[in-house]
Amino acid sequence: MADSISGRSIGVTVLGATGSIGVNTLDVIARHPDEYHVVALTANQDIERLFEQCLQHRPAYAVMIESGKASELRDRLQQAGVTTEVLTGVDALQQVAALPETDYVMAAIVGAAGLLPALAAARAGKRILLANKEALVMSGQLFMNEVQANGAELLPIDSEHNAVFQCMPNGFDKGLEDVGVDHIVLTASGGPFLETPLAQLEGVTPEQACAHPNWVMGRKISVDSATMMNKGLEIIEACWLFATEADRVKVILHPQSVIHSMVAYTDGSVLAQLGNPDMRTPIAHALAWPRRVSSGVQPLDLTEVARLDFRAPDFERFPCLRLAYEVLAAGGTASAILNAANEVAVQSFLDHEIAFTGIPRVIEYTLQQLAIEAVDSLEVVLAADQAARTAARNYVESEKITA
Ligand code: NAD
Ligand code: MG
């Protein structure tokens, strides 16, 4: 069956096509060739994968950020008889997010680099499938304003937020109290170091941090899951998506990652969304909403899962969670500063420049260094991002000297 946009196939731009979310998105799209077609695919530098994806999906456009690799891709596609037009540079990301032939934009670039293209999709009134939580953490109110002002649709891909969205009643965007919602419960697996003795955290390696027990993901979000900064970013993301305050967003550890999150109502009811930990479920949900389509995910067998465990989060083990609540209380540019400092800290850890336990130290230092300003323009956000990167980088250099 063709989708509801007047019975025609839906055009999708996938930003960050070569990443974990991008690959899963193309897997779901390929299962429904009559309903969706790919308009544009983008990548930072993974030319091999983007080439293969262009061969399979025949997009009108492909964006390769690095210009040398873009010309190589152009030549290879031409030789293969593929007519995809290859663009390059960061502006091209915004261009393909706003094309008239694009109906839906999967925003799956990792980090702050995804902000401007996601905003371009909002300004062009697209359906945005938002995986790039950092965009919302950085620019919160500005982003939501653009969505509203331009009639865009914002559907969460983050499994927790997608679960919450599925459990929310109609009209939640007008305020949770009015629709009888008391609070949101975000579940968290606790990552690979939930049981590691605290004294050993100093010495864990990037490889150990990236070995998530339940999900296969890009390296940045894997480290964020290990520090639980991922959950911190998700608390901030939830406040914007569901128009609520931090005290209505609770976190519970649930190591099996089968309940993806819950909504607690004022009458005592709690609605949960369950499923196997596979991102194709939220991706298929957001692509088809309000319909349902198959995603390729195995049906959930609760007898095989057998038990579901829960416990309260530990702020001593996971100081990044505390930092997230602190920046929410501070408001303004604080969350953009936290996000930028975290990106620098995670990359430094992956590059073996700082210890795992140095990550929250870099963020806390950066937050202490910079004045928090009201967010009244995108320029303010981008300036805070840059200033935080510089401060965080300086701290990393000093940690390296003392290490
Ligand atoms: P990934 O590292 O696997 O892929 C990132 C993609 O972004 C790649 O296509 C890469 O080429 C592109 N990219 C990276 N830097 C870029 C830059 N500077 N400019 C342009 N493109 C760039 O990451 P991922 O795991 O797919 O995560 C993507 C986003 O989705 C992140 O924001 C993450 O938090 C979010 N997310 C991911 C998962 C998951 O299961 N992987 C779950 C929830 C949310
Ligand atoms: Mg998540």
Quick: pLDDT tens for 326-350: 999 999 999 999 999 999 999 999 9
Residue 43 beta carbon below 6 angstroms from any ligand 1 atom: yes
Nearest-CA residue for ligand 1 atom 20 is 44
For the purposes of burial, counting CB atoms within 10 Å of the CB of 79, is it exposed (0-12), middle (13-18) or buried (19 or more)? Answer: exposed
Report the distance separating Cα 13 and Cα 31, nearest Å. 16
Provide the whole-model pTM: 0.97
Write out the two tokens for 197. 């003795």
What is the reported pLDDT for 403? 58
Torsion of CA 207, 210, 214, 218, to 10 degrees: -140
By most ligand atoms within 8 Å of CB, the mutation choice from 14, 15, 21, 281 for ligand 1 is 21
What is the reported pLDDT for 6? 67
Report the distance separating Cα 129 and Cα 240, nearest Å. 15
Question: Percentage of the chain surpassing pLDDT 70?
Answer: 98
Are 106 and 130 in contact, with CB atoms under 8 Å apart? Answer: no
pLDDT digits (tens, 9 = 90+) for 112-170: 999 999 999 999 999 999 999 999 999 999 999 999 999 999 999 999 999 999 999 99
What is the reported pLDDT for 2? 43
Distance 215 CA to ligand 2 centre (A): 10
Distance 234 CA to ligand 2 centre (A): 7
User: Which residue do the tokens 């194709």 mark?
Assistant: 280
Residue 46 beta carbon below 6 angstroms from any ligand 1 atom: yes
- Segment 294-312 mean pLDDT: 97
Ligand nearest to the CA of 50: 1
* Helices 115-123 & 133-149 angle (0-180, nearest 10): 20
Ligand nearest to the CA of 217: 1
Confidence of residue 5 (pLDDT cuts 50, 70, 90): low
Are 14 and 38 in contact, with CB atoms under 8 Å apart? Answer: yes
Q: CATH 3.40.50.720 in the chain, residues? A: 10-156
* Helices 319-330 & 334-350 angle (0-180, nearest 10): 150
Q: Residue type at 239? A: C
Residue 106 beta carbon below 6 angstroms from any ligand 1 atom: no
pLDDT digits (tens, 9 = 90+) for 350-371: 999 999 999 999 999 999 999 9
pLDDT digits (tens, 9 = 90+) for 73-122: 999 999 999 999 999 999 999 999 999 999 999 999 999 999 999 999 99
Write out the two tokens for 37. 């077609």
By most ligand atoms within 8 Å of CB, the mutation choice from 13, 109, 186 for ligand 1 is 109
By most ligand atoms within 8 Å of CB, the mutation choice from 41, 46, 221, 339 for ligand 1 is 221
CATH 1.10.1740.10 fits 331-403, yes or no: yes
Distance 130 CA to ligand 2 centre (A): 11
Nearest-CA residue for ligand 1 atom 23 is 218
Residue 108 beta carbon below 6 angstroms from any ligand 1 atom: yes
Distance 161 CA to ligand 2 centre (A): 7
CATH of 10-156, one of 2.30.30.280, 1.10.357.10, 3.40.50.720, 3.30.70.1150: 3.40.50.720
Report the distance separating Cα 126 and Cα 128, nearest Å. 6
Report the distance separating Cα 67 and Cα 46, nearest Å. 12
Residue 255 beta carbon below 6 angstroms from any ligand 1 atom: no
Ligand nearest to the CA of 215: 1
pLDDT digits (tens, 9 = 90+) for 184-236: 999 999 999 999 999 999 999 999 999 988 888 999 999 999 999 999 999 99
- Segment 12-38 mean pLDDT: 98
Write out the two tokens for 247. 């005290």
Nearest-CA residue for ligand 1 atom 42 is 158
Residue 133 beta carbon below 6 angstroms from any ligand 1 atom: yes
Taking the alpha carbons at both ends of the chain, their separation in whole angstroms is: 60
Residue 158 beta carbon below 6 angstroms from any ligand 1 atom: yes
Distance 159 CA to ligand 2 centre (A): 5
Angle, CA of 5, 158 and 396, to the nearest 5°: 135
- Segment 233-247 mean pLDDT: 97
What is the reported pLDDT for 7? 81
Nearest-CA residue for ligand 1 atom 9 is 16
